[in-house]
Structure 1
Amino acid sequence: MAGAMWPGALPLLLLLAVLLHPSRCTQGGKVNFREKEKQVLDNILGPGRYDARIRPSGENGTDGPAIVRVNLFVRSIATISDIKMEYSVQLTFREQWLDERLRFNDFGGRLKYLTLTEASRVWMPDLFFSNEKEGHFHNIIMPNVYIRIFPNGSVLYSIRISLTLSCPMNLKLYPLDRQICSLRMASYGWTTNDLVFLWKEGDPVQVVKNLHLPRFTLEKFLTDYCNSKTNTGEYSCLKVDLLFKREFSYYLIQIYIPCCMLVIVSWVSFWLDQSAVPARVSLGVTTLLTMATQTSGINASLPPVSYTKAIDVWTGVCLTFVFGALLEFALVNYASRSDMHSDNIKKQFPPSDQMEHSSSIDPSSELLEPDGSANFAMKPLVRHPEDSMSMDKLQQCEIHMQPRKKNCCRSWLSKFPTRSKRIDVISRIFFPIVFAFFNLTYWSTYLFREEEGDE
């Protein structure tokens, strides 16, 4: 009889074993929702149930365009190259849209979302970066990408990427400039009738705190739209404008102060003796070559542009001052040789001999007539009153016709007898005053233009 009951009890034992299997229950008798996730994924993404080639419907299930909302998180900005006019950025890029075909039961809020790592299993917007030069994904240790599907059919796509983007720059105010670098994102194949990109409401762009850049400061960023029309239709486009301000302290230490020092060193030549030809020539040539090397080094780090930059004006004027100091010595040398020539003439014909020569000739000239005969003019012994009055008038006229007193500049320059010395003394005053006036004009002009551009 027991053997007859065994075959009927076998199905009951098998059913009990299935119910008590670990995959069917957990500790405490709770349901394993990880198994539910598999069932839901197989249900919504199984064969014949979902086609990733078909775009989602529009809002409220209409046939309008699919709405994709975008937001960014800027993790770092590596380099901003002036010569290549590009910048490198690493960011977390996120897209979110609604696909009603992916709705599922959340089991009373137990399944908050489903996670995928294969983007090819669901429909994806065909977004691309229009000003991208290079870019790559991050795959260490695993691909830095995920797709979250929420119970209402909302899809969130997040990926970490590194991009090198073009950034056309206007360097007229370099290095007192501000640059605007854009990040443009657009649809490649879907027109605005099928796909529209919108910025996510509320803080669509986020930047990591304590963002450090080598020579720039990120002042602010602006979001905008940049839809483009072509022969094939109108395409949705988003853009972010990053406003960078160049750090001037670096250029002040590396360029402006050294150039000022070279110009001032070239003025030392004015204080050296005019006979110290080797010292003055070597000083002028050395400062000129150093200034030329400084200028070429600055231009090597910048692209060849057709307009004049602020740094070009500065280096050009400084180079002109150094070259002018060298030309000043050439003028001084020429003037000193002229002074030596005039001194030699004075030594050959001293003033005392000329006076004696003139005194010895004057009496004879008074006594001789043109025909060679002697003429002894007799002066009257007694002067008439009319003659005395005429003499007084002549003395008064001589007093009025006396030359005016010399001004302070002429009297000061008269202390230096030679023209070469006067040129050196004038240069000691003229060069610093003109350079100070240039600095006043330069800084007021470019700083004012910078503020005007910000407004």
Structure 2
Amino acid sequence: MAGAMWPGALPLLLLLAVLLHPSRCTQGGKVNFREKEKQVLDNILGPGRYDARIRPSGENGTDGPAVVRVNIFVRSISKIDDVTMEYSVQLTFREQWLDERLRFNDFGGRLKYLTLTEASRVWMPDLFFSNEKEGHFHNIIMPNVYIRIFPNGSVLYSIRISLTLSCPMNLKLYPLDRQICSLRMASYGWTTNDLVFLWKEGDPVQVVKNLHLPRFTLEKFLTDYCNSKTNTGEYSCLKVDLLFKREFSYYLIQIYIPCCMLVIVSWVSFWLDQSAVPARVSLGVTTLLTMATQTSGINASLPPVSYTKAIDVWTGVCLTFVFGALLEFALVNYASRSDMHSDNIKKQFPPSDQMEHSSSIDPSSELLEPDGSANFAMKPLVRHPEDSMSMDKLQQCEIHMQPRKKNCCRSWLSKFPTRSKRIDVISRIFFPIVFAFFNLTYWSTYLFREEEGDE
């Protein structure tokens, strides 16, 4: 009879074995703490046990303000825009505070922390980024956010966000400038009587090691506090200043060297023949238009500010040199026509040779009398005082009438017979010397001002 009851009792025995299996409450003799996590969460966050609308108490359970410690990890900085004066950054943002209402039993250190993914379950600081223009969270594949609750009631909130932040820039030294872009975080509704933000001790700001920025280099960063007072109270604020140095090599290759080449090409006109009017005009106009196009392209990539930038000084002077080379040809052309006009006058009216004829007369003829006889009057042996004075005056006149020594520059210019040729020769030396002096003044001035600004 017992054997007849065995087939019907088998399913019941299997169900009983499953219910009494050790794995439901133990794993290899150990407690399943995943089940304990559910019990702890139901205990501390259950209905009627925790109210997320009430802020936690202050330190040591006092009625003081809740203290929230902040640290950030900068993952990337994708763009620093000079026109809109903004920059984009992706970072991992972390907040940590103590909420004694969330304490729980850690079962001898075996339950290290509880993890939540819904921020609405617990009280959260009302922090916002005061200089934010745009921002979004990351939800691929799952929302990149978590909340960890530790046995002592400490709460850690971590989230990955991307922000576009405003960065007011001073472009007076552009492109030899350094810019400071800030990241400001403040409380929106809780005053300092209820909520205080502090930087985490040790290393509050971390930056990824292989950070790459287009045309900039992150030199350093500084953390500070920026509490603000309004008519509704004082609000806690944190800020981190990122110091960016602009990479000059890009602008040296794209702007400075091409402008120097255009200025030097405009000097080729000084070495061309004066009669090559089409070549000199086309060369001057082409370099002038190219320099103007280069200047407009540079200004198109910058905001229209009211002050003069370092790049404006450079392009303005280079444009002036190119325009001066074109005006130099106009002056040479005018001087060449004047030279041709004076040559035509000399051909029509040749110079008289009377002075040459008079200079060829023998001075001894002055000794002849009007009748042609020679005058051999004897001179007195003793000179009168009047005679000595007249001799002195004669010697002084002879000294003054001696030909002056020629200046080296004048003697060199005398090799070139026409004024137009002299203007070209002077321009070949004058333009490079002035441009070299401008370069010396420009670089020494702006590099010195840059170092002075860093101090």
Instruction: Using structure 1 for the length normalisation, give the TM-score.
Output: 0.89
Q: Are the equivalent residues in 2 in contact too, given 1:216–1:246 (CA < 8 A)?
A: yes
Shift of the 373–400 alpha-carbon distance from structure 1 to 2, 3 Å rule, reads closer
Shift in Å at residue 194 of structure 1?
0.4
Deviations 1:76-110 (A, max 9, x none): 00000000000000000000000000000111111
Query: Aligned partners of 2:74, 2:370: CA distance in 1, in Å?
Result: 108
Query: Aligned partners of 1:390, 1:3: CA distance in 2, in Å?
Result: 172
Query: Aligned partners of 1:64, 1:389: CA distance in 2, in Å?
Result: 113
Shift in Å at residue 406 of structure 1?
1.0
Deviations 1:206-232 (A, max 9, x none): 000011001000000000000000011
Shift of the 103–18 alpha-carbon distance from structure 1 to 2, 3 Å rule, reads farther
Query: Aligned partners of 2:54, 2:299: CA distance in 1, in Å?
Result: 54
Supply the RMSD in Å over aligned alpha carbons. 4.9
Query: Aligned partners of 1:167, 1:408: CA distance in 2, in Å?
Result: 60
Query: Aligned partners of 1:278, 1:224: CA distance in 2, in Å?
Result: 65
Shift of the 281–8 alpha-carbon distance from structure 1 to 2, 3 Å rule, reads closer
Shift of the 386–149 alpha-carbon distance from structure 1 to 2, 3 Å rule, reads closer
Deviations 1:109-139 (A, max 9, x none): 1110000000000000000000000000000
Unaligned stretches of 5+ in structure 2?
none
Shift in Å at residue 198 of structure 1?
0.3
Match of 1:280 in 2: 280
Instruction: Using structure 2 for the length normalisation, give the TM-score.
Output: 0.89
Query: Aligned partners of 1:209, 1:239: CA distance in 2, in Å?
Result: 21
Query: Aligned partners of 1:189, 1:370: CA distance in 2, in Å?
Result: 125
Shift of the 15–335 alpha-carbon distance from structure 1 to 2, 3 Å rule, reads closer
Deviations 1:114-170 (A, max 9, x none): 000000000000000000000000000000000000000000000000000000000
Shift of the 360–150 alpha-carbon distance from structure 1 to 2, 3 Å rule, reads closer
Deviations 1:400-455 (A, max 9, x none): 32231111011001111111011111111111011000000000000000011111
Shift of the 114–351 alpha-carbon distance from structure 1 to 2, 3 Å rule, reads same
Q: How many residues in Structure 1 have an aligned counterpart in Structure 2? A: 455
Shift in Å at residue 239 of structure 1?
0.2
Match of 1:430 in 2: 430
Q: Are the equivalent residues in 2 in contact too, given 1:95–1:158 (CA < 8 A)?
A: yes
Shift in Å at residue 381 of structure 1?
20
Query: Aligned partners of 1:193, 1:435: CA distance in 2, in Å?
Result: 64
Identity %: 98
Shift of the 103–9 alpha-carbon distance from structure 1 to 2, 3 Å rule, reads farther
Query: Aligned partners of 1:215, 1:402: CA distance in 2, in Å?
Result: 69
Shift of the 389–371 alpha-carbon distance from structure 1 to 2, 3 Å rule, reads closer
Secondary structure of the equivalent of 2:24? coil
Q: Are the equivalent residues in 2 in contact too, given 1:176–1:246 (CA < 8 A)?
A: yes
Shift of the 11–322 alpha-carbon distance from structure 1 to 2, 3 Å rule, reads closer
Unaligned stretches of 5+ in structure 1?
none
Query: Aligned partners of 2:151, 2:11: CA distance in 1, in Å?
Result: 38
Q: Are the equivalent residues in 2 in contact too, given 1:112–1:151 (CA < 8 A)?
A: yes
Shift of the 27–12 alpha-carbon distance from structure 1 to 2, 3 Å rule, reads same
Q: Are the equivalent residues in 2 in contact too, given 1:40–1:104 (CA < 8 A)?
A: yes
The worse-fitting range, judged by mean Cα deviation, of 378-387 and 319-328 is 378-387
Q: Establish whether residue 38 from structure 1 lines up as the match of residue 38 from structure 2.
A: yes
Match of 2:354 in 1: 354
Query: Aligned partners of 1:214, 1:245: CA distance in 2, in Å?
Result: 11
Secondary structure of the equivalent of 2:146? strand
Query: Aligned partners of 1:263, 1:371: CA distance in 2, in Å?
Result: 76
Query: Aligned partners of 1:372, 1:327: CA distance in 2, in Å?
Result: 66
The worse-fitting range, judged by mean Cα deviation, of 66-75 and 27-36 is 27-36
Deviations 1:292-327 (A, max 9, x none): 000000000000000000000000000000000000
Q: Are the equivalent residues in 2 in contact too, given 1:24–1:31 (CA < 8 A)?
A: no
Shift in Å at residue 28 of structure 1?
1.6
Shift in Å at residue 393 of structure 1?
6.3
Query: Aligned partners of 1:369, 1:287: CA distance in 2, in Å?
Result: 75
Shift of the 50–6 alpha-carbon distance from structure 1 to 2, 3 Å rule, reads farther
Match of 2:119 in 1: 119
Shift of the 332–9 alpha-carbon distance from structure 1 to 2, 3 Å rule, reads closer
Deviations 1:23-62 (A, max 9, x none): 6334423211101101110110111111000000000001
Query: Aligned partners of 1:241, 1:135: CA distance in 2, in Å?
Result: 19
Query: Aligned partners of 1:299, 1:422: CA distance in 2, in Å?
Result: 38
Secondary structure of the equivalent of 1:299? helix
